[in-house]
């Protein structure tokens, strides 16, 4: 069955593009036909990874977001001749426009009628922005919880996901949301002084795992230990996805 994955969050800098980039590679590693779409009108990131062959959707009309440009989604989704997973990276600046469009046009129902499965991927971070990202989760569950799968990603990059010493997963608020969640992905807190540096280099160079890990010789600037750490990151993440049976 074809499947659309929307990565949404009203807060910027939470990892939407990063997790879209990783998840798309995971799908491809399973030989699943995958099409990425970047509709971030201000800071498009996913489209910069040439190996992912990303479609860029321009949703702007001058300086304004034109919601009718989201009408292009069905045409894009119907092009592949086989079951395909679509990974949609949406920018923070267009979060309200896209979510309003999906609700007002009953777009998830349109996809269901076309025999598509739909998943919304939501990210919660630690630190000062935790409350805002939790509010984003609440908003998406309210809007789409009865219409699609909700996958929750925990991103510990900015700190522990806890408040007043209470881990979010142990809080009454989380218990209220838990029944609406299809899966939970706890992104590893890789050591920043070794794994973090290697992974950041991969992203800065706009390369995918396979372009470094599965070629010999490795690209210039990727020594033996850098490649080894990137392989370990890929193995850890992909094994984690396998364990939660995200697809």
> Do residues 21 and 49 make contact, with C-beta atoms less than 8 angstroms apart?
yes
| pLDDT tens-place string over residues 144-195 | 989 999 999 999 998 999 988 899 999 998 999 999 999 999 999 999 999 9
Please name the residues in contact with 186: beta carbons below 8 A apart, sequence gap of 6 or more. 154, 156, 240
CB atoms within 10 A of CB 239: 9
| pLDDT tens-place string over residues 65-101 | 999 999 999 999 988 767 899 999 998 888 989 999 9
Please name the residues in contact with 190: beta carbons below 8 A apart, sequence gap of 6 or more. 196, 199, 233
How many angstroms separate the CA atoms of 119 and 3, rounded?
A: 8
How many angstroms separate the CA atoms of 244 and 29, rounded?
A: 16
The burial class, CB within 10 Å (0-12 / 13-18 / 19+), for 232 is middle
- pLDDT at residue 62, rounded to an integer: 87
| Largest Cα span, the chain | 52
- pLDDT at residue 9, rounded to an integer: 86
pTM of the predicted structure, to 2 decimals: 0.95
| pLDDT tens-place string over residues 13-59 | 899 999 999 999 999 999 999 999 999 999 999 999 999 999 999 99
């Amino acid at each position: 069955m074809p499947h659309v994955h929307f990565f949404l969050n009203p807060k910027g800098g939470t990892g939407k593009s990063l997790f879209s980039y990783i998840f798309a590679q995971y799908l491809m590693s399973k030989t699943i036909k995958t099409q990425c779409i970047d509709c971030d009108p201000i800071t498009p990131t996913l489209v910069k990874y040439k190996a992912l062959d990303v479609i860029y959707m321009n949703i702007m009309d001058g300086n304004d977001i034109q919601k009718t440009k989201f009408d292009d989604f069905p045409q894009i989704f119907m092009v592949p001749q086989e079951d395909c997973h679509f990974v949609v990276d949406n920018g923070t600046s267009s979060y309200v426009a896209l979510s309003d469009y999906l609700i007002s046009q009953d777009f998830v129902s349109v996809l269901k009628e076309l025999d598509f499965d739909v998943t919304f991927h939501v990210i919660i971070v630690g630190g000062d922005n935790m409350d805002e990202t939790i509010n984003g989760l609440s908003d998406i569950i309210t809007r789409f919880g009865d219409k699609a799968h909700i996958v929750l990603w925990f991103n510990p990059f900015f700190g522990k996901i806890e408040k007043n010493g209470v881990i979010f997963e142990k809080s009454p608020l989380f218990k209220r949301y838990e029944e609406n969640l299809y899966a939970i992905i706890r992104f590893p807190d890789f050591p920043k002084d070794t794994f973090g540096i290697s992974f950041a280099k991969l992203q800065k160079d706009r390369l995918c795992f396979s372009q470094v890990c599965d070629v010999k010789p490795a690209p210039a600037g990727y020594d033996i230990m850098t490649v080894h750490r990137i392989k370990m990151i890929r193995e850890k993440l992909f094994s984690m996805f396998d364990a939660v049976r995200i697809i």
